[in-house]
A and B are shown apart, each in its own frame.
Chain A
Amino acid sequence: MRVLLVEDDVDLSRQLKAALSDAGYAVDHAPDGEEAWFLGDTEPYDVVVLDLGLPKIDGVSVLERWRREGKTTPVLILTARGAWSDKVAGFDAGADDYLTKPFHTEELLARLRALLRRSAGHAAATLTCGGLRLDPRAARATVNGEPLRLTSLEYRLLHYMMMHQGRVISRTELVEHLYDQDFDRDSNTIEVFVGRLRKKIGSDRIETVRGLGYRLSPLAGESDAA
């Protein structure tokens, strides 16, 4: 497993590099944003540990560049500020996990293991519906190639509707598949989630069939193979 460690503090880099090597990773180290971006762009890493406060180019910008160029390597960000706005900005840029300094080294190793487990086994059978694409193994969805940021309930709803696309699905059926337990089963719930899903995937993809339920279909002009 190759890991790219991006950290500007000399001591912390040395310690982390040692800890990662001990854990069996092949470690490359970049002390600033420019080198990090270059390495990440040219070498096939399995996971990246990225400090946000970097010289030359800051961490969020580096991450944004990688994602724009289509790199899907899982990235764990390190933040010293601990502010949620930094974490959210990191996730918007495409991060997969965060850790606030100071942290225990074991915690970092555990998080990296989890990230690698999650990213393993990509390229599974995906579901498509026009420009919508859903990867059930990674639990990720995209619309026209752009990643969708869905909560688990929204994802579950979209998954079910994509498995049954073109068919009218009743509210009762949806609510039964949305919640595995018996709470919150009121009719309003589905409307709330369908509303949010429409905002994220485009409102025309889900059609309301009065009195019956909802139907998901490709947009007019979109081919199913898109």
Chain B
Amino acid sequence: MVWVGDFNRHHPLWDDHSSARLFMPANLDAASVLVDLVGTFSMDMPHPAGIPTLETFRTGSLSRPDNVFCSAPLTPAFIECQTRPELRPARTDHFPIVGTLDLTPERSVPAARRSWKSVEWDEFSTSLSDNLGAIGQAHPIQDKDNFFAVFNLLTAAIQSTTDQHVLETRPTPYTKRWWSPELTRM
């Protein structure tokens, strides 16, 4: 497991040693709960000690309330775990911590869709008529096997016409449902 967060605790194990003002007995007592947890669950600290994660607005003093801990077996998976002060968003005094782990989660890829609205329907109808004509004369269905044979021929005719005339498209996140070809022409 990985613990990421703002623990609001100061201890020489992760804060810069020059910040002696942070190591008052009350602060060390408060931090002991976290230190005990880290030990109990055999956690490592992939974010190197001594690097601050907070620069207070008022005084500009640096400290390390934010931290990252991970189970010991997971430590070798950490490719990177570092503070990126240059990427700090506006209106916050906390620096971002960016971590990269050598784990590859399964990604989702949007499935391709048919672009039905760009179909030339006259051409589609002509092709479909030709393909259906190739099946032969319609006749009453007598049994189950006959039904599925006709069903498969019909499906194949529609599918081949679709493949021929309907383009595949992958919608982008920027797609607007109300955008039309008329708007493109304008």
| Co-assembled chains A and B | no
